[in-house]
Amino acid sequence: MEKAHLEVRQVTPALKKGLEDLFSALRAAGDEKWFHPHALNIEILEWLTHYKGKDLYYAMAEGEAVLAYGMLRGWDEGYEIPSLGIAVHPRVRRKGLAAAFLHFLHAAARRRGAKAVRLTVDGDNVAALTLYKNMGYQFKIEDLNRSVGMKYLE
């Protein structure tokens, strides 16, 4: 069978199994310590794959396999600057997927009229901090364990 091509898709019920596999791999790798926008369990998938609000939830997929999950949240709650979250499957890291996905998420936020995106990172999450700094995020240390990053889009 021909290999499916890489694409970024909005999360839909068709991606439920792929997301379940990704969440389970993230849990097994201990990444819930870094990435906890919501629980990474089966229960959340019913809500996530049927979500219809203003926030944006995306998957980087190859067919039914989800390689990365990313989101821009905050519009539902009335914020103008969305919060970004991203996680890549442990099997396919250091291949540029997060960098490419971030460019996409920044463009999606710009299309919505956002002037910036924000995120929070644990101070010892070296991979994420290096990635975000290389992508132009400016950081403010919130407390000993967490930094808030801002990326201006204009």
Q: Of all helices (H) and strands (E), which one includes residue 56?
A: strand 56-62
Contact map string, positions 11 to 30, toward ligand COA, x by CB under 6 A: --------------------
Task: Say if CB 24 and CB 44 are below 8 A apart.
Answer: no
CB–CB of 56/84 below 8 Å?
no
Instruction: Give the x-and-dash track for 67-96 against ligand COA (CB under 6 A).
Output: -------------------xxx----xxxx
Question: Which of 72, 76, 57 minimizes the C-alpha distance to 16?
Answer: 57
Q: Nearer Cβ to ligand COA, position 41 or 134?
A: 134
Nearer to ligand COA, 97 or 117 (CB): 97
- Enter the DSSP assignment of 89: -
Beta strand pairing call for 56-62 and 83-88: unpaired
By C-beta, is 1 or 6 nearer to ligand COA? Answer: 6
Residues that bind ligand COA (CB under 6 A): 31, 34-35, 86-88, 93-99, 119, 121, 125-128, 130-131, 134
